[in-house]
C-alpha cells in the first residue's frame, strides 16, 4: 500500500461512527466519506454524485453488468469482449444461464483487441435488443489497451450504455471518466496501492442500474450497506496519489518493462511475447514459453523468490488454459505455457536482474519435466 493510503486509513481506524447516523460522530464519518468521493471524482474527471463505493472490482462489475441488464429489460443482448476478466464474464454468463440474457462474446484480433467494426456489426444485427456493452480498458493478462473512446462512441450512436473495467488501467494510464465517454467504470483500490476490499463504480448521472443488494439505501440506493470509512479514505488517497504520479510512473515502468522483454527474449530465444508489443500497459510483460507448463515454471521461479502469474484460472481444482490467449488464437499448449510478469510502483531493476538470474535454468528444468 502507498504511504498516503496507510496514513489516511490509520486516522479513520481510530475513530467511531456510522456515516448513515445523524449524531455528531456519524456526521464526522459522513464528511470523510463525501470528501473521499470528491477526491476520487476530481482525480478521474467525474462528478462526486457519479462515484458509487463498492467492496472492490468484482462487486462493481457485477453491479454494472447485472444492474444495467435488469434496468433495460426486455432487451436481452449483452455484448462483452471475449478477453474480459472473469469478474465481468461470469456475471454475464450467469445472466444467460438464469435470467434469459443472450450473451455475445466480441471477438478480438491476435493482439487481444476488439476492433470497432466488430462491435458495430454486432450491435447492428439487432440494436433495439442490446441491453449493454462491456469492454475492459486494458487486459489484465496480456496488457493490450482497448480503443475505449471509439467503442463507447459506437455504443452511444445506438443509445446503448457502455461499461468498462478500468481496474488494470488506473494508475498506469490516463483515465478520465468524462473524457472516455463511458457510462460505467470499474476501479479497485489494491491495484493502485490502496486497500484490498475497497473499490467503486463510476456511474453516469441519469443511469440507474437495478440494485444487486438491498438494505439501507446507501449510495444512491444502488449499493446498500454500511460504508467502510477507513477503506474509503484509503482508496481516495491511493487513487489521488496514483493519478498524480501516473505519468512519471508510466515512463519508469515502460523503460523497465522494455528492458525485461528484451532480456527475456535474449535469454530464451523462442519465447513468444503476447499482446500488443507497444500499445500495452507499462507494467505488463506476458510470455508463452514453448515446451513449458506455466504452472511448473511459476513454481520453479517462486522457489527462487520470483513471484509471477500464469494466464490460467482454476476451476474445481482443474487448471484451465487462459481464455484470453485462446480468444487471441493461441493453441492450448501456448495458452498453458504462459506467464505474466507485472511491474508496479515498488519494482526496480534489481527485480529484473533477479528474474534473469534464475529464468534460464527454470525454463530448462520445466522443459525437461515436460518431456519426462
Residues labelled as active-site residues: 314
Phi-psi map region of 180: left, alpha, beta (phi>0 left; psi -120 to 50 alpha): alpha
Residue 4 and residue 92: Cα distance in Å, rounded? 36
Peptide bond into 74 cis (omega under 30): yes
Find all residues with CB under 8 Å of 74, minimum gap 6, and list them: none
Spatial contact of 55 and 199, defined as CB atoms under 8 Å apart: yes
50 closest CA partner among 219, 225, 244: 219
Buried b (16+ CB within 10 A) or exposed e, 224-260: ebebbbbbbbbbbbbbbbbbebbeebbebbbebbeeb
CA R_g for the chain: 21
Find all residues with CB under 8 Å of 233, minimum gap 6, and list them: 8, 9, 11, 12, 32, 36
Amino acid at each position: 500500500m502507498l504511504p498516503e493510503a496507510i496514513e489516511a486509513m490509520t486516522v479513520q481506524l481510530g475513530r467511531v461512527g456510522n456515516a448513515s447516523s445523524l449524531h455528531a460522530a456519524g456526521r464526522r464519518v459522513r464528511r470523510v466519506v463525501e470528501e473521499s468521493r470528491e477526491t476520487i471524482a476530481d482525480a478521474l474527471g467525474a462528478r462526486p454524485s457519479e462515484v458509487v463505493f463498492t467492496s472492490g472490482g468484482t462487486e462493481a462489475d457485477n453491479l454494472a453488468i447485472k444492474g444495467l441488464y435488469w434496468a433495460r429489460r426486455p432487451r436481452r443482448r449483452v455484448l462483452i469482449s471475449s478477453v474480459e476478466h472473469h469478474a465481468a464474464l461470469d456475471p454475464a454468463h450467469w445472466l444467460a444461464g438464469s435470467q434469459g440474457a443472450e450473451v455475445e462474446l466480441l471477438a478480438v484480433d491476435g493482439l487481444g483487441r476488439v476492433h470497432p467494426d466488430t462491435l458495430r456489426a454486432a450491435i447492428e444485427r439487432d440494436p433495439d435488443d442490446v441491453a449493454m456493452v462491456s469492454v475492459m480498458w486494458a487486459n489484465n493478462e496480456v496488457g493490450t489497451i482497448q480503443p475505449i473512446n471509439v467503442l463507447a462512441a459506437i455504443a452511444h450512436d445506438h443509445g446503448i450504455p457502455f461499461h468498462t473495467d478500468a481496474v488494470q488501467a488506473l494508475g498506469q494510464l490516463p483515465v478520465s471518466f468524462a473524457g472516455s465517454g463511458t457510462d460505467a467504470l470499474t476501479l479497485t483500490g489494491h491495484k493502485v496501492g490502496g486497500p484490498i476490499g475497497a473499490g467503486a463504480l463510476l456511474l453516469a448521472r441519469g443511469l440507474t442500474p437495478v440494485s444487486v443488494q438491498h438494505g439501507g439505501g446507501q449510495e444512491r440506493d444502488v449499493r446498500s450497506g454500511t460504508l467502510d470509512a477507513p477503506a474509503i479514505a484509503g482508496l481516495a488517497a491511493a487513487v489521488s496519489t496514483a493519478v498524480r504520479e501516473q505519468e512519471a510512473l508510466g515512463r519508469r515502468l515502460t523503460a523497465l518493462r522494455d528492458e525485461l522483454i528484451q532480456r527475456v527474449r535474449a535469454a530464451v530465444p523462442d519465447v513468444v511475447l503476447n499482446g500488443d508489443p507497444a500499445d500495452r500497459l507499462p507494467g505488463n510483460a506476458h510470455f508463452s514459453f514453448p515446451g513449458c507448463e506455466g504452472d511448473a515454471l511459476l513454481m520453479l521461479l517462486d522457489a527462487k523468490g520470483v513471484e509471477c502469474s500464469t494466464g490460467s484460472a482454476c476451476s474445481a481444482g482443474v487448471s484451465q488454459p487462459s481464455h484470453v490467449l485462446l480468444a487471441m488464437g493461441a493453441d492450448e499448449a501456448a495458452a498453458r505455457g504462459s506467464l505474466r510478469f507485472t511491474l508496479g510502483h515498488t519494482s526496480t531493476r534489481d527485480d529484473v536482474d533477479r528474474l534473469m538470474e534464475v529464468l534460464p535454468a527454470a525454463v530448462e528444468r520445466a522443459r525437461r519435466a515436460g518431456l519426462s
